[in-house]
Amino acid sequence: MKIQKIQIGGRMSIEPEKVVLLKANQNYTELYLYNGRMLMVATTLKILEQRFLLTNTFYRLDRAHMVNLSYINNYEAQTGKVIMQNQQEVSISRRRRHGFYSFINEHFNPFNILLK
């Protein structure tokens, strides 16, 4: 099932599978795309979070970052960092770590290996 385009601001919309990372920048949001481009939209991360969470492939790691779990290259449980395929590192807030690991285990763990 293909997800429809998501409205990101003004007359712009985007296919969610093209977005790697969303980063808050005051009242703007920077969208980092899989092809290396970056878009800045005049929509807050809180509003975009509500739209992107409907896809079940995005997770908000802290106050300023939301990632597409399909583009995670690695995550370090000891340091609480996620490394994306575009080599950006994002720290997971302490309060969201347990929820992140639970979400990963439930939705993105094909071998049912318990991740900590």
Domain borders along the chain are 6-107
8-state DSSP, 116: -
pLDDT for residue 17: 94
Q: Evaluate whether the domain defined by 6-107 bears CATH number 3.40.50.300.
A: no
How many residues belong to the chain? 116
pLDDT for residue 110: 53
Low-confidence ranges of the chain (pLDDT < 70): 1-3, 108-116
pLDDT for residue 65: 97
Query: Which residues on adjacent β-strands are paired with residue 56?
Result: none
Which amino acid, residue 104?
A: I
> Tens digits of per-residue pLDDT, 27-50?
999 999 999 999 999 999 999 999
